[in-house]
Amino acid sequence: MSNTPYALEMRGITKRFPGVLANDDVNFAVEKGEIHALLGENGAGKSTLMNMVNGLYRADEGKILLDGKPVKFSSPRDAIDSGVGMVHQHFMLVPTQTVSENLILGQKAPRFYINYKKLEQDIAELSRKFGLAVDPQAKIWQLSVGEQQRVEILKMLYQGAKLLIMDEPTAVLTPQEVTDLFKTLREMTATGHTIIFISHKLDEVVEIADKVTVLRRGKVVATVDGHATSKAELARLMVGREVLFRIKKKPAEPTTDALVIDSVSCENDRGLPALRDLSLTVRSGEVVGIAGVAGNGQTELAQVITGLREAKFGTITVQGQNVTNQSATATIDQGLAYIPSDRNGVGSSPNLTLADNLILKSYRKPPIGPGWRIDLKLVRSQAEKLIEQFDVKTPSADLPARLLSGGNLQKLILAREISRQPKVIIAVYPVRGLDVGAIESIHQMLIDERDRGAGILLISEDLDELLSLSDRIVVLFEGQIVGEVPPEDERIDEIGLMMAGTKVEHSHAT
């Protein structure tokens, strides 16, 4: 051990990709035992910078030092051997294997040497110490997203990480899970670990970070004291201008029924009731927000509307047309747009180019299609227009979608869905992973769609987002609507109570 106070130092780091200068002469130093947040707009170069510490990418220029000693990693295996672990934006667990099996993946010891009893004891010990409750024998696919994340953290701790990098760990967590994660992180720093925390959620950064470094277009703009800074200062450093945290909109002028859900029931993946006799109407020209703690039927509701899940009972109509249990393609033809929560699996095709991803839902029909005769020139010019309009940061429309930064992939999906002038938009966590500037512009676009006459169903856990966009808010609890509340700040406690299952007498569902 040397006596440098820095767990990690990056000096003069530059990284280029074809057509992109992702990191430009970056200097970044993290003290031992601190929680250091890394902030920046979508595509600013945060993940790239950390992937170099983790051995996934090699720097073109510059030096990386751990505890004062220069290191050169050529794989994440090298990194973890030196005590550096990373939990990625997209989890990297094997779904068909158990928690224990995932923890030892990539270990050098041959399988038959492993003492599973000892392994499970070690896991239990780590779980208890850091508050990371999870069943070692559960298969990964059976776990919620929050539990999977705990497994990722356990895996890094088990393999000996002293420096833990977390890339947008809270993007997929419920507010309660965020509170639990923060307890774990504090426990880790108390036991000598160091944490780098990437997030777009400024409230969280202000709450948890000791230091904050802000990147803009690959360069460091500032490192500030996390305890002395404010949301407004951080937003300004990130985007280079003032950011409004609430959008302006006029009162809704709803017209005819756009989406009618009538007494719908369905099951979840495990065959248990997910929606129970649910009825809800969204009119053209209004935003109806669905509030609720994740796991109360939100995902299933979106799926059953878009033809991805079977309705056991009830009917769903879009502008008077029955779409109950129709194929996803049929619902697209009825003018239904879907912004799913899973942007990699359902939302996009990682290996197709951006241009191809943008036409995924329109190549069957003129003017682009029919499918056997695609107008490639038109595809390109439309793609370029959308990339510009939605501010997707990319060197070209021919890039495979998997190479986009997390937030830019989300913008690509939004571009495809909104540009088709849909009659109904089902938006599930539409701004997940987006930076504050992008959130502002996407929210504005959704309101513009509303004013054009689309009916919007907004599913979100973020009460600020629900209050700022919705014209009406209904609360979903255990597959049923337990109440409707006007989107007023003073009603926030009432919404919270209903989300926890308390029926509030004077409100009534539609």
In degrees to the nearest 10, what's the CA dihedral of 230, 232, 233, 238?
Answer: 120
Q: Which does 170 bind (CB under 5 to 8 A by kind): Mg ion, ligand ATP, none?
A: none
Within residues 395-414, the interface with Mg ion by CB under 5 A covers 405-406
Residues 251/472, Cβ–Cβ less than 8 Å: no
Which of 7, 10, 13, 22 lies at the binding interface for ligand ATP (CB under 6 A)? 22
- The smaller minimum CB distance to ligand ATP, of residues 401 and 495, is found at 401
x/- mask, ligand ATP, residues 398-437, rule CB under 6 A, reads -----xxxxxx-----------------------------
Sketch the per residue contact string, 37 through 66, with ligand ATP: x for CB under 6 A, - otherwise.
---x-xxxxxxx------------------
- Does 76 engage in binding with Mg ion (CB under 5 A)? no
Of 39 and 424, which CB lies nearer to ligand ATP in the complex structure? 39
CB of 216 to ligand ATP, least distance (A): 10
Beta strands 287-291 and 472-477: pairing type? parallel
From the list 276, 250, 277, the residue with the least C-alpha distance to 263 is 277
Beta strand 257-267 with 313-318 is antiparallel
DSSP 64: E
Judged by beta carbon, residue 348 or residue 394, the one nearer ligand ATP is 394
| End-to-end CA gap in the chain | 65
Backbone conformation region of residue 295, classed left if phi is above 0, alpha if psi is from -120 to 50, else beta: left
Alpha helix segments (H runs only) across 191-344: 202-208, 231-239, 298-305, 328-333
Task: Answer whether 407's CB lies under 8 Å from 430's CB.
Answer: no
Which listed option, Mg ion, ligand ATP, none, makes contact with residue 40 (CB within 5 to 8 Å by class)? ligand ATP
Strand runs labelled E in 299-404: 313-318, 321-322, 336-339
Cα–Cα distance for residue pair 477/474, rounded to 1 Å: 10
Task: Give the integer Cα–Cα distance in Å for 213 and 224.
Answer: 6
Helix (H, G, I), strand (E, B) or coil at 133: coil
Closest approach, Cβ 80 to ligand ATP, in A, equals 21
Strand partners, 316: 261
Question: Shortest Cβ distance from residue 417 to ligand ATP (Å)?
Answer: 18
Give whichever of 45 and 479 is closer to ligand ATP, judged by the CB atom.
45
Give the tokens for residue 206.
Answer: 């202000």
**Smallest distance from the beta carbon of 408 to ligand ATP, in angstroms?**
5
Q: How far is the CB of 42 from ligand ATP (least distance, A)?
A: 3
Which of residues 32 and 393 has its CB atom nearest to ligand ATP in the complex? 393
Judged by beta carbon, residue 21 or residue 368, the one nearer ligand ATP is 21
CB of 211 vs ligand ATP, minimal distance in Å: 18
> Binding residues for Mg ion, per CB under 5 A?
47, 405-406
The footprint of ligand ATP (CB under 6 A) covers 17, 20, 22, 40, 42-48, 393-394, 403-408
